[in-house]
Amino acid sequence: MVQIPITMPYTRVVHSAISTCGYSPLAIILTFTLSGVIAAGGVVIRCFQYPAGMPIASSCSAAISAACHPPPRDADASLSPIQ
């Protein structure tokens, strides 16, 4: 909130006042710049591919469980080399 008192010329007598909401241009520019950097970062990261192999599961417990349990036909999985 910005309040600007308007005084009479060469005195300190307040003639009127203006109250308004002020915005900092620096904050607006930094916000738009940071938003652009975040968006560009997402586009750049999207261009990279992960190597083939184990799927990226992040925090999905079903995908982690499926990756940890071998299929039924693979009875000798404990004898094979790991990834």
Q: Which of 24, 26, 21 is nearest to 2 (CA)?
A: 21
* pLDDT of res. 83: 66
Tell me, yes or no, whether 34 lies in a domain: yes
Q: Are 13 and 5 in contact (CB under 8 A)?
A: no
Tell me, yes or no, whether 70 lies in a domain: no
Tell me, yes or no, whether 80 lies in a domain: no
How many Å apart are CA 9 and CA 4, to the nearest integer?
15
Tens of pLDDT, residue by residue over 11-61, are 888 889 988 887 888 999 999 999 999 999 999 988 887 776 666 777 788
The boundaries of the domain holding residue 40 are 1-49
Tell me, yes or no, whether 21 lies in a domain: yes
Tell me, yes or no, whether 2 lies in a domain: yes
How many Å apart are CA 45 and CA 62, to the nearest integer?
25
Tell me if the pTM is above 0.95: no
Tell me, yes or no, whether 44 lies in a domain: yes
Tell me, yes or no, whether 40 lies in a domain: yes
